A and B are shown apart, each in its own frame.
Chain A
Amino acid sequence: MTCEKAKRLIDAAFDGALHEDAYRDVCAHLGMHLDMHTLEDVDFSDIDCSDPKTIVSGEGCPSCRAYAAQLRTLKCALADWEPERLPEGFESRLHDGLMAARTDVPDASLNPQTAESPEKPSRWRMLVNRPWKRYSLALAGAAVLLIGVYIAPHYFGDLANDYAARAGHGVGYLSDTFESTPHETTETALFVPESGSDSDFGATLKEAPMEAKKADETAPTEAAAGKAIGTAPEAAQRSDFREGRLMIKTASLNMEVEGYADVEASVKALVSEAGGYIENASTQFLEDPSRTEKPLKTGRMQIRIPEGAHEKVFGDIKALGRVMYENMSASDVTTAYRDTASEVQNLRITEDRLRNILKDATIMADILDIERELTRIRGDIEQKTQQLGHWEALVDMTTIELHLVEVRALKPSVEPIDAGLLDRAGEALIHTLNGIRGGFEAVVIGIIALSPFWIPLGALIALGIWKFKRRKRT
């Protein structure tokens, strides 16, 4: 017997989990005499921990004897291991939980106890019985109060705005921000090439969740009909896990550009040419378009480029303007990917086994239990498969985060004074005056709105002062 095999069996010998022949071989390897421990007593539970020679006396393999001696020490150290004490109040909380759960027990209606008035304790009582949860509740209450206090002024501010709008003034309250949302345009997946290898990828990304959803929809129906066997969705049956190293590459680029629209069009052309697509894009004005003839813009794009082509595209985009910041990074997800792939494979084996058991199951309770377990396992498989697909997609397509800021000129130049300078100054003054008026209105509205609180309060205070003065006088 090799030492490696012997060491594996020694553990089982200590636990009394070896057959007679194997136990005999282990004893021979360790140089133990069989009559030292009868086979009926092979779990060594009665060994004398204070005598290290009890087990490994005699001649035998020194390495394995040392291994056995260490194991004996370990077993002795764990010999009188006691289970933990239950936390205070554990049983009463459990009782509450069981009483609440009793209504879920199918035959509970047969029990006279159910005729009692149903208690409504359970979760709430379990919640408040735990000190740390009580404190959490108190903190949550305080947070709600603070938020309320914070929101109140805004609420009254909004009232002032509404009042001003209804009065036909049409001017906002105090902070009149010209870079408001109407000036912003957002596009999502606005540009997907019509043909090319990338379209498959786009389709995969969009279809995977849909298939998962379909699977979710069909599973319960089929389970209810008792036909869950062999209905695993195709999307989750994949076994073609990737080999080799998996690297997710990302890059980011901040640039100043002249002529935003032209640069944007060039970027789209470059991406299309490389077989990629723009996953997300947004554009925003830097200046008020109603006041400036050619307002400057800024925008962000999230670009996906097939792995391998990204460096060329990255370089080409950089040539379109002045680079203010650039960064490229890569993260290795090989280990996480392999682990998850193994988990999926194991789950599939378990699933197959359960399906086979389900075929032979005849008792309804068993069938329901197995189907519940199958649903859980299927959910896990779906979740992990999606994660694997997500990693693969990220590996296949490098992500470039592009931030463009438009400037009038990349090279410094003297610009003439804007002819409409005085007009703009006049508009700004009007905005300020309207702001002051709006603020005043908000204060008046606030005072009137809060009068139910401060009038009685003021009256009480005045009464208190009057009584105090009167007492002082007398």
Chain B
Amino acid sequence: MEATLIQKSIRGDVDSFEQLISQYMRYVYTLALRMMGNEADAEDMAQEALIKAFRSISSYREEAKFSTWLYRITVNVCKDALRARKQTFSYDVETVPAYAHASDSRYDPLAAYEEKEQKKMVHAAIGKLPAEGRTIIVLRELMGHSYEDIAVILDIPVGTVRSRISRSRNALKHILIEEYGQGKGGF
């Protein structure tokens, strides 16, 4: 199915391409939002990445997953924009991500509240990581990519992915401990 949509997209069929990317659009936007730090830029970059993907879809090879290829374009577009601006990275802490559900603890109001607070803390702390750390956490934790896929998307060796993930998580823990104190929220 995906292969058919790709072939049609190569021939310039916009509808097929839209169908092809429909399941990835939110992830592309989330990735851009985490890298750019604000919604306006994130939308611009996501649009640019998706249009760029459409333009260069003929160069897509099936060795990699389509999603991996698409996210790689997104990362490159954002990196180029950030490099052009030479800006320091910031993140709007107000933009707290949505949650699917409150797991089993939703039946216990206090536990649910604590869990929600803990998630808010963690997501706010992710915003304080450098762009490199934010990107890799999004790719691993939100998108669930394997280390190999992340290596392809970011164009770095798998060993670097491993150390970068470990470093970013460590940094995240330190931020949480510094911001909210030892022992709070399980850290």
A residues apposed to B, CB below 8 Å: 7-8, 11-12, 15-17, 49-50, 69-71, 73-75, 77-87, 90-91, 93-95, 97-99, 101-102, 104-111, 113-114, 126, 130, 132, 350, 365-366, 368-369, 376, 380
Select from chain B the residue with minimum beta-carbon distance to A364.
B59
Instruction: Give the Cβ gap from A187 to chain B, nearest Cβ, in Å.
Output: 34
Q: Are B47 and A17 in contact (CB under 8 A)?
A: no
Q: Determine chain A's interface SS by DSSP, over half rule.
A: helix
Q: Are A113 and B47 in contact (CB under 8 A)?
A: no
Cα–Cα, bound, A366→B58 (Å): 10
Instruction: Give the Cβ gap from B69 to chain A, nearest Cβ, in Å.
Output: 12
Instruction: Give the Cβ gap from B154 to chain A, nearest Cβ, in Å.
Output: 12
24 contacts between A and B (CB under 8 A): A73-B118, A74-B169, A74-B173, A74-B187, A77-B119, A77-B121, A78-B122, A78-B141, A80-B99, A81-B97, A81-B123, A82-B97, A84-B29, A85-B98, A90-B25, A93-B47, A97-B47, A97-B51, A102-B12, A105-B12, A105-B57, A107-B11, A108-B11, A130-B40
Instruction: Give the Cβ gap from B87 to chain A, nearest Cβ, in Å.
Output: 15
In the complex, chain A residues whose CB is within 8 Å of the CB of B105: 50
B98-123: contact bitstring with A at CB < 8 Å (1 yes, 0 no)? 11110111000000000100110111
Q: Are A74 and B14 in contact (CB under 8 A)?
A: no
Q: Are A113 and B12 in contact (CB under 8 A)?
A: yes
User: Which residue of the partner chain, among B25, B54, B83, B169, contacts A11 with CB atoms under 8 Å?
Assistant: B169
Do A78 and B50 form a contact, CB below 8 Å, given A12-B162, A73-B187, A87-B39?
no
In the complex, chain B residues whose CB is within 8 Å of the CB of A15: 140, 146-147, 165
Cα–Cα, bound, A350→B27 (Å): 27
Cα–Cα, bound, A99→B18 (Å): 11
Q: Please name 20 further chain A to chain B contacts, defined as beta carbons within 8 Å, in addition to the given A12-B147, A15-B146, A80-B99, sorted by A numbering.
A: A11-B165, A15-B147, A50-B105, A77-B121, A78-B122, A80-B101, A82-B97, A83-B30, A83-B142, A87-B39, A90-B25, A91-B25, A97-B50, A99-B14, A102-B12, A104-B55, A105-B12, A105-B57, A110-B11, A114-B12
In the A-B complex, list the 4 residue pairs whose CB atoms are closest, starting with the nearest.
A108-B12, A73-B186, A83-B26, A11-B166
Q: Determine chain B's interface SS by DSSP, over half rule.
A: helix
Cα–Cα, bound, A57→B104 (Å): 22
In the complex, chain A residues whose CB is within 8 Å of the CB of B100: 80, 82
B17 within 8 Å of A by Cβ? yes
In the complex, chain B residues whose CB is within 8 Å of the CB of A69: 186
User: Which residue of the partner chain, among B29, B54, B58, B99, contacts A107 with CB atoms under 8 Å?
Assistant: B58
Do A74 and B122 form a contact, CB below 8 Å, given A94-B50, A99-B14?
yes
B169-187: contact bitstring with A at CB < 8 Å (1 yes, 0 no)? 1001100000000000111
Q: Are B55 and A105 in contact (CB under 8 A)?
A: yes
B33 within 8 Å of A by Cβ? yes
Cα–Cα, bound, A102→B18 (Å): 12
Instruction: Give the Cβ gap from A156 to chain B, nearest Cβ, in Å.
Output: 42
Instruction: Give the Cβ gap from A412 to chain B, nearest Cβ, in Å.
Output: 53
Select from chain A the residue with minimum beta-carbon distance to B7.
A107
Q: Are B185 and A11 in contact (CB under 8 A)?
A: no
Cα–Cα, bound, A86→B95 (Å): 13
Q: Are A111 and B11 in contact (CB under 8 A)?
A: yes
B2 within 8 Å of A by Cβ? no
Cβ < 8 Å to A, chain B residues 66-108: 80, 83, 95, 97-101, 103-105
B132 within 8 Å of A by Cβ? no
B residues apposed to A, CB below 8 Å: 10-14, 17-18, 25-27, 29-30, 33, 39-40, 43, 46-47, 50-51, 54-59, 80, 83, 95, 97-101, 103-105, 115, 118-119, 121-123, 137, 140-142, 146-147, 155, 162-163, 165-166, 169, 172-173, 185-187
Q: Are A82 and B51 in contact (CB under 8 A)?
A: no
In the complex, chain B residues whose CB is within 8 Å of the CB of A79: 103
User: Which residue of the partner chain, among A84, A104, A366, contacts B33 with CB atoms under 8 Å?
Assistant: A84
Instruction: Give the Cβ gap from B58 to chain A, nearest Cβ, in Å.
Output: 6
In the complex, chain B residues whose CB is within 8 Å of the CB of A114: 12
Instruction: Give the Cβ gap from B138 to chain A, nearest Cβ, in Å.
Output: 9
User: Which residue of the partner chain, among B30, B50, B147, B172, contacts A84 with CB atoms under 8 Å?
Assistant: B30
Select from chain B the residue with minimum beta-carbon distance to A7.
B166
Cα–Cα, bound, A111→B13 (Å): 7
Cα–Cα, bound, A86→B27 (Å): 9
User: Which residue of the partner chain, among A17, A50, A132, contacts B146 with CB atoms under 8 Å?
Assistant: A17
Cα–Cα, bound, A103→B43 (Å): 23
Q: Are A90 and B43 in contact (CB under 8 A)?
A: yes
Q: Are A82 and B166 in contact (CB under 8 A)?
A: no
Instruction: Give the Cβ gap from B120 to chain A, nearest Cβ, in Å.
Output: 9
Q: Are A95 and B18 in contact (CB under 8 A)?
A: yes
In the complex, chain B residues whose CB is within 8 Å of the CB of A109: 12
In the complex, chain B residues whose CB is within 8 Å of the CB of A102: 12, 14, 54
